[in-house]
Amino acid sequence: MKKNASTLVLVLVLTAVCYSSQFDLAFANYFPAPPTVDVYIRADGSVMPSYVPIQKDGNVYVFTGDLVRHVLFVECDNVVVDGAGFALKNAYVLNDLRVTGQKNVTIKNLNMSGVYVNSSSNVTISNCAFRTVMLRSSCYNQIVGNTISMGTDFAGVDVASGSLHNVVVRNTITCPTGVKTIDSNYTTVSENNFTNCVTSIALHDCHNLVSKNSIENGVSGGGSITITQVGSYNIVFGNNITGRSQSGIKLVKGCHNVFYENLVTNFPIGISFGSSGSSQTVADNRFYNNNFVNNTQNLHMVYNASSNVFDNSFQGNYWSSYNGIDTNGNCIGDTPYVMHANFTDPYPLMYPFVLGSDITASVVVVSPENCTYTTNEVTLTFSSNKTLTWTAYRLDTKNMKEFDVQKTLSGLSDGVHNITVYAKDTAGNMLSSKTVSFQIDANQNVPLYAAAVVVAVAACVLVGVFISLRKTKPEM
């Protein structure tokens, strides 16, 4: 009898051990979370409760220890919260630091779960480590030099609800979605390092600037830079985009966006237009001076993309799969590059564009100047700080014409004209000047001697009339 009882106990113990993980998963949510302590920096500058490890020095609040299972509310303007390398950690809330309705708040040197900024302005978050920062109805804020890592579906930087003119710069971001903007225009995303993101940057709105970011080793399935919904009039330039996401640049919907001087390499799809099951339009976007290297497919169109342009009227993009020739040595292929049945690049570059090069400082138009000329003939001259092997100019919308150092432009019609000089240096880099506008008004070209003759003739006529009248005057 005792042996049977012992055996029964042993079986129950083994059963409990075997199913302990299932027991934990099934019943863990029934146990209450540890209590959370709310900490406040009040509008009058006081800290409540007063026993927490935060030391006040004027308008600077310095952590002197970790705050675990706490949430910090900043309710004061013009303050600095310095974490001094300590932590504000609460595993039971997404955002353990919250700023609502404040201005001129700086948060730095703090490790935390997340930051929530609502209806606030001029908030700076720098040199911190956290999972996410959420901006809601907030303007002119800066997210600078932070380490942002999130293992869930939240964006590392989530900008929404009419937040305007915010800056996200020089952060290291490892999240499923790195930066996401919704209904929030004029966001600057620059000089960040994105690693292992499904989508590094997702723009759902307008007038944003995305520049000089490094995007590497993306997770398969997304688009490294994605523009969707009403994403229009965004500028994307100087980004280094490489990895294993589905596509380097993905336009689900958007118009009048400009992409230039980006490197897009080692993707299944370089550029993706449209989305399956969507009737949204991708139109009037422009791509030029980008380098598309070693992509399996450079352009994939899913639905309804039209009027997209792959040049800036004289230079297109570099495509590593282009095998055309360049007979005149201007570094532009003689034949267009067909990357899709509906789209071609008319001026494909023979060599990779030098990303980040200053294409306007090396060539300067000396003449004509931005003024009005009273003759139909002007002289074109330029200067350059580089050794050039080829030069050409474009007048208005006409085709480029090659020339040497100086050229007389004759037969110019009255009105405004625009001229740009293009060149190639010994390294094969394509250069261009700034476009110069000038005006021709030949009707003003009345020489002084002609005016003097007119005046003299008029005077002689008047004198002759006077003498004639004197001679014919009746005698009294």
Q: State whether 253 and 202 are in the same domain.
A: yes
Give the start-end residues of each E strand in 13-69: 37-41, 47-48, 54-57, 60-63, 67-68
pTM of the full structure: 0.72
Residue that is last in its domain, among 334, 356, 378: 356
Q: State whether 394 and 348 are in the same domain.
A: no
Percent of the chain with pLDDT over 90: 54
Residue that is last in its domain, among 356, 385, 413: 356
Domain count for the chain, please give it: 3
pLDDT of residue 468: 59
Domain-located, residue 183: no
Task: Give the distance from CA 57 to its chain's centroid.
Answer: 39
Domain-located, residue 296: yes
pLDDT of residue 149: 94
Output the CA–CA distances (angstroms, integers) from residue 31 to 24, 28, 93, 312, in the order listed. Answer: 10, 6, 16, 63
Range among 62-66, 87-91, 193-197, 375-379 with highest mean pLDDT value: 62-66
Q: What is the spatial distance between Cα 360 and Cα 468, in angstroms, rounded to a whole number?
A: 69
Q: State whether 162 and 213 are in the same domain.
A: no
Q: Give pLDDT tens digits for 84-124.
A: 999 998 878 889 999 999 999 999 999 999 999 999 999 99
Domain-located, residue 77: yes
- Tell me which of 93 and 428 has the higher pLDDT: 93
Domain-located, residue 458: no
pLDDT of residue 102: 98
Averaged pLDDT for residues 156-161: 96
Q: State whether 166 and 257 are in the same domain.
A: no
Q: What is the spatial distance between Cα 26 and Cα 10, in angstroms, rounded to a whole number?
A: 23
Pairing verdict, β 177-182 and 155-160: parallel
Residue that is last in its domain, among 117, 142, 174: 174
Q: What is the spatial distance between Cα 447 and Cα 461, in angstroms, rounded to a whole number?
A: 22
**Is the pLDDT score of 319 beyond 80?**
yes
Which CATH number fits the domain that encloses residue 422? Answer: 2.60.40.10
Averaged pLDDT for residues 44-51: 96
Which CATH number fits the domain that encloses residue 58? Answer: 2.160.20
pLDDT of residue 160: 96
Q: What is the spatial distance between Cα 382 and Cα 407, in angstroms, rounded to a whole number?
A: 10
In the structure, what pLDDT confidence band is assigned to residue 476 with cuts at 50, 70 and 90? very low
Output the CA–CA distances (angstroms, integers) from residue 35 to 38, 70, 82, 135, 223, in the order listed. Answer: 10, 9, 25, 27, 41
**Is the pLDDT score of 360 beyond 70?**
no
Domain-located, residue 143: yes
- Tell me which of 405 and 81 has the higher pLDDT: 81
pLDDT of residue 144: 97
Q: Any idea which of 113-122, 239-248, 263-272, 433-442 has the lowest mean pLDDT?
A: 239-248
Averaged pLDDT for residues 166-178: 94
The per-residue pLDDT of the chain, averaged, comes to 84
- Tell me which of 231 and 444 has the higher pLDDT: 231
Averaged pLDDT for residues 1-6: 52
Q: State whether 202 and 103 are in the same domain.
A: no
Q: State whether 231 and 322 are in the same domain.
A: yes
- Dihedral angle, C-alpha 324, 348, 345, 295, nearest 10 °: 80
Cβ 28 vs Cβ 46: under 8 Å: no
pLDDT of residue 103: 97
Domain-located, residue 470: no
Domain-located, residue 156: yes
Q: State whether 340 and 375 are in the same domain.
A: no
For 356, the token pair is 């980040």
Q: Which domain holds residue 251?
A: 196-356
Q: What is the spatial distance between Cα 189 and Cα 181, in angstroms, rounded to a whole number?
A: 10
Q: State whether 260 and 391 are in the same domain.
A: no
Q: What is the spatial distance between Cα 57 and Cα 31, in angstroms, rounded to a whole number?
A: 41
Q: State whether 348 and 380 are in the same domain.
A: no
Domain-located, residue 98: yes
Q: State whether 247 and 307 are in the same domain.
A: yes
pLDDT of residue 448: 45
In the structure, what pLDDT confidence band is assigned to residue 433 with cuts at 50, 70 and 90? confident
Q: State whether 270 and 387 are in the same domain.
A: no
Q: State whether 66 and 116 are in the same domain.
A: yes
